[in-house]
Structure 1
Amino acid sequence: MRVGYVVHTYPALSHAFIGREVAGLRRAGVEVRTLSIHRADDEHVLSREDREEAAATESVLPASPFRLTAAHLRAVSHPVAYFKTLRFALGRAPAGVPARLRQLFYFGEAVYVWAWARRHRVEHLHAHLANVATDDVWLASVFDRFTDRPGHWGWSFTMHGPTEFFAVERFNLAAKVAAADRVVCISDFCRSQLMLLCPPSSWDKLTVVRCGADLDRYRFRPPRPSSSRMAVLCVGRLVQRKGQAILLEALASLRGRVDATVTLAGSGPAEDSLRQLAERLGVADSVTFAGPVGQDELPSLLARHDVFCLPSFAEGVPVVLMEAMAVGLPVVSTQIAGVPELVTDGSTGLLVSPGRADALAGALAALAADDALVQKLAAAGRLVVEQRFDSAQCAAQLAGEFDRRPRAPSTPGSAEQDLLHDL
């Protein structure tokens, strides 16, 4: 099977799991072509694998005038489909000139996606995240199904959250689910949130395929022998929703009880405020800002720490938690969204209420004081990743989902007909 992957930015440092998924699908025998709506900047291309993927990935933006013109010239050979799809795109726009202009840009990108997919003889289009990539794939598929040529592709997207669930109308989630042939959800929680938005008639197209960790790269090692100082690692974008400020408050409250250091790996708009907070709390000498870390460096960074902590306010199911568990680090995270589907409190890790620095400090203190608990969580954490979050198994499951996708009809299906009834 030949599958086209369309992503907002690919490869991307914060979405390294997409690259692993693509690699896993290729190992499973799926021919995957990749298209990035926005070309990846150098900050996203840190590892050898990322450089190879970036070189092999075509991008829509910045636009090549020649390719963009060629795509639209090819598309206007189907004039009825072209103008019906343009009308559909504009009809989906919220009120206001800026929104309509944005839809016009999406239409322009979608025609490029359509021409790219036709050029590579794609049999199925798949988008990651319910953002502009999914908008473009949807419009490209609408256009394709309005043409009179045989062999229309099916299309799907992977729903992650949490961002889209904060603005369901802006992301038009219910309509995207109605139009797609299949929707891949990364967790049962994610699927339940889409079920809340969609009628029961759409529920059977919602399927759970989890993201996974590369178990060959992230090999288990027994936890380091306890020492007088506990090294805590947190990896993630430095943004408010990741909760790094709560970790710094917890670190301050541990002073005098536990000798601990914190490494914050990542970059983002909250870095300056986090540095200032560390100074105000009097823990700046115990906090290291390590900057962005590529996949080549992450295993060795994990190996230099004793505990992994991710105190987020909102998440999907963090792959970096899986990777920490895979190498044998005990993990502390928050009891939110899909995280409990990965971490069972007291069994495969420790979970605390979000926003509670006191509870987070208590969990870290418990690990510092109990080697037996550390050993237990490390072994159980690795086991659950092997059983349920192995990236190779997850990719094979996803390949099966693509294989059993409903064959796309020659014209828009019933769900799309509802959306297009006035065209």
Structure 2
Amino acid sequence: MRIAYLLNTYPMTSTTFIRREIEALEADGVAVRRFAIRPWPHALVDPRDVADQARVHYLLSGNAAGLARALARQALLGPLALLRGLWLAARLARAGGGLVRHAAYLLEAVYLLAQLRTAGIEHVHAHFSSNAAAVALLARRMGGPSYSFTAHGPDEFLTAAADGLSLKLADAAFVVAISDFCRGELLRLGGAEHRDKIAVARCGLDLAEFVPAGPPAAADRDVVCVGRLCPQKGQALLPAAAAALRGTVPPFRLILIGDGESRAEIEAAIARHGVADLVSLAGWRSNPEVRAAIAGARALVLPSFAEGLPIVLLEALALERPVVTTTVAGIPELVDAGCGRIVPPGDVGALTGALRDILLADPETLAAMGRTGRARVARHHDLRDLSATLRGLLAAAVAPGPRVPADAAPAKARAAEAAVAADA
């Protein structure tokens, strides 16, 4: 089975989970070609991301001549297909985003289509339902292979109408939702008539990479926050919470790993609340460094306002560290009082109280939370299970004959594999 993964920007420091997903499929015998519309303009800090970047074929980024040649060839050899793509691009543009944007998507789709044909790609899978899914849809309408996409939220749900989500759902072979909440949003925005092609496949971890370091010692009171510094993740609330905790708990530190557009706002909040001795910004770190920081901490905090289902929560729980986070999107499907604390977004008082509970908890309580969290990740977020589900969906998508419901696709693929084994 030869498939392509298509991303808007890849790799980034926040797309480690996609790299792991691709690597798991490859380990299971699926040939995966990596395509992205553009490279990330910042330096990558993880060596595995750096290595993976060399395997990505970029549609843009110094490729003007290649795009022009692909367009001329398509106009000469497949003018009717190009007209179909042009008509669909105009239809998507009317929904929102404008003609220029969708003309660019059409040009990218023409170039991608040529690359897919050369490589013998049987199916394209995109992550997120925005730019990359639009390019995959246009390539499909011009005679390209079937496609699918994984929806995460939350931003893509805010622009669903303008992005033509219903059209993408209608033409997709299947759609992956990363949580029950995400599936509900897809049904609400795209229409319940597509329910049979939407499968919940939760993001996964290779648990062998996340070996628990044992419960934290009573004196260990570092709390880490990992993620892009941005308004959606709410890190600007942490200095106020740290100031409220001062003097009510033993000495502690809040360490923020990551960087982004909210850095200046967070630095100003640290100065305003006088907590430079309690809150520090560590910048981006490699995956091994992040794992080590979480394993060496008492807990992880992520006070988000808007999320899909943050991978770093899975990582902390897999390392048997409790988490403090918010009742946003798919997070309550993972986190409860058994493995941490979950509070309303934006409630500094509740956030402060939850952090106080964790900072005052005895090692036995923390250890019990950690065991519960790891067991939950093992049960619902094992990367091997995700790979098996995706492999089944992909096999059903490329198999000849009518499409089957997404929930039945893995079973169909397993039956086909068993039949092949029986004949061998």
Which TM-score applies when normalising by structure 2?
0.90
Do residues 256 (structure 1) and 247 (structure 2) align?
yes
Do residues 167 (structure 1) and 189 (structure 2) align?
no
Deviation at 1:114, TM superposition (A): 0.8
Instruction: Tell me the C-alpha RMSD between the 2 structures.
Output: 1.8
- Tell me, yes or no, if the aligned pair for 2:25 and 2:391 is still in contact at 8 Å: yes
Aligned to 2:356: 365
Larger mean CA deviation between 46-55 and 64-73 belongs to 64-73
Aligned to 1:147: none
- Tell me, yes or no, if the aligned pair for 1:263 and 1:290 is still in contact at 8 Å: yes
- Tell me, yes or no, if the aligned pair for 1:24 and 1:396 is still in contact at 8 Å: no
Deviation at 1:355, TM superposition (A): 0.9
- Tell me, yes or no, if the aligned pair for 1:218 and 1:299 is still in contact at 8 Å: yes
Deviation at 1:171, TM superposition (A): 2.1
Aligned to 2:266: 274
Gaps of 5+ in 2: 403-424
Deviation at 1:287, TM superposition (A): 1.1
- Tell me, yes or no, if the aligned pair for 2:318 and 2:374 is still in contact at 8 Å: yes
Aligned to 1:218: 210
Closer/same/farther in 2, CA of residues 396 and 409 from structure 1, 3 Å limit: closer
SS in 2 for 1:340: helix
Supply the distance in 2 between the matched residues of 1:297 and 1:376 (Cα, whole angstroms): 25
How big is each residue's C-alpha offset from its partner over 1:296-330, in whole Å with a ceiling of 9 and x where there is no partner?
32111212311100110111111111001111111
SS in 1 for 2:140: helix
Supply the distance in 2 between the matched residues of 1:223 and 1:333 (Cα, whole angstroms): 20
SS in 1 for 2:259: coil
Aligned to 2:104: 105
- Tell me, yes or no, if the aligned pair for 2:256 and 2:279 is still in contact at 8 Å: yes
- Tell me, yes or no, if the aligned pair for 1:48 and 1:296 is still in contact at 8 Å: no
Aligned to 1:237: 228
How big is each residue's C-alpha offset from its partner over 1:101-142, in whole Å with a ceiling of 9 and x where there is no partner?
111111101111111111111111111011211111110111
Supply the distance in 2 between the matched residues of 1:167 and 1:29 (Cα, whole angstroms): 36
Aligned to 1:316: 308
Closer/same/farther in 2, CA of residues 119 and 409 from structure 1, 3 Å limit: farther
Supply the distance in 1 between the matched residues of 2:289 and 2:322 (Cα, whole angstroms): 19
How big is each residue's C-alpha offset from its partner over 1:139-189, in whole Å with a ceiling of 9 and x where there is no partner?
011111xxxxxxx62210000000012222222222211121111100000
Supply the distance in 2 between the matched residues of 1:119 and 1:226 (Cα, whole angstroms): 60
- Show the 5 A alignment for 1:187-206: 187-206=179-198
Supply the distance in 2 between the matched residues of 1:390 and 1:268 (Cα, whole angstroms): 30
How big is each residue's C-alpha offset from its partner over 1:351-391, in whole Å with a ceiling of 9 and x where there is no partner?
11111111111111112222232111111111111111112
Aligned to 1:136: 135
How big is each residue's C-alpha offset from its partner over 1:16-58, in whole Å with a ceiling of 9 and x where there is no partner?
1110100011111111100010023342x22221122111111
Do residues 304 (structure 1) and 303 (structure 2) align?
no
What letter is aligned with 1:5? Y
Aligned to 1:19: 19
Supply the distance in 2 between the matched residues of 1:396 and 1:286 (Cα, whole angstroms): 44
Aligned to 2:418: none
Supply the distance in 1 between the matched residues of 2:64 and 2:282 (Cα, whole angstroms): 40
Deviation at 1:409, TM superposition (A): 8.2
- Tell me, yes or no, if the aligned pair for 2:123 and 2:398 is still in contact at 8 Å: no
Aligned to 1:176: 168
How big is each residue's C-alpha offset from its partner over 1:260-286, in whole Å with a ceiling of 9 and x where there is no partner?
211111111110010000111111221
Closer/same/farther in 2, CA of residues 65 and 241 from structure 1, 3 Å limit: closer
Aligned to 1:419: none
Do residues 265 (structure 1) and 264 (structure 2) align?
no
Do residues 73 (structure 1) and 72 (structure 2) align?
yes
Aligned to 1:348: 339
SS in 2 for 1:293: coil
> Which one of 324, 331, 353 corresponds to residue 332 of structure 1?
324
Deviation at 1:406, TM superposition (A): 6.7
- Tell me, yes or no, if the aligned pair for 1:312 and 1:334 is still in contact at 8 Å: yes
- Tell me, yes or no, if the aligned pair for 1:316 and 1:338 is still in contact at 8 Å: yes
What letter is aligned with 2:248? R
What letter is aligned with 1:8? N
Do residues 85 (structure 1) and 85 (structure 2) align?
yes
Supply the distance in 2 between the matched residues of 1:180 and 1:251 (Cα, whole angstroms): 47
- Tell me, yes or no, if the aligned pair for 2:225 and 2:300 is still in contact at 8 Å: yes
Supply the distance in 2 between the matched residues of 1:85 and 1:409 (Cα, whole angstroms): 25
**Which runs of 4 or more aligned residues in structure 1 lie more than 4 Å from their structure 2 counterparts after TM superposition?**
406-410
SS in 2 for 1:238: coil
How big is each residue's C-alpha offset from its partner over 1:79-100, in whole Å with a ceiling of 9 and x where there is no partner?
111122112212321389x811
Aligned to 2:367: 375
Larger mean CA deviation between 79-88 and 332-341 belongs to 79-88
Aligned to 1:149: none
Deviation at 1:4, TM superposition (A): 0.5
Greater relative contact order (Cα 8 A, min sep 6): structure 1 or 2?
1
